[in-house]
Amino acid sequence: MYRMGLGVRQNYVLAHVWFNLAASQFPVSKKDSRDRAIEARDSSAANMNPAQINQAQQLARKWKPRLETAQSEATLEWWQRLLAPFR
């Protein structure tokens, strides 16, 4: 949504953050989904300068979920639906 400005102001930094976090959630068994998240993250980075990329990486490292939840198939399915337009 941030990368394309769908319902929010376009923001490549935040797009990069969320795609980076998405990629980190996929296990090895979901390599295709992980690769799509990485490709979308890198596509966002192509529109950013080095300072913005650094900012996005720092934000992703600092991100903490609000509620402690176990990684589940439901969570993975949510990320897969999020990345579906980038297939």
Instruction: Convert the pLDDT of each residue in 28-71 to its tens digit.
Output: 899 999 999 999 999 999 999 999 999 999 999 998 776 555 55
Between the alpha carbon of residue 81 and those of residues 13, 14, 36, 52, 74, the distances in Å are 21, 18, 12, 27, 11
Two structure tokens written together for 57: 């990486």
The amino acid at 22: A
pLDDT given for residue 64 in this prediction:
77
Q: What is the pTM of this model?
A: 0.72
pLDDT confidence of residue 70? 53
- Between CA 67 and CA 55, with CA 81 as vertex, the angle to 5 degrees is 60
pLDDT on residue 76: 74
Instruction: State the Rg of the chain over Cα.
Output: 13
Domain limits, the chain: 12-62+70-86
The residue among 84 and 4 whose pLDDT is bigger is: 4
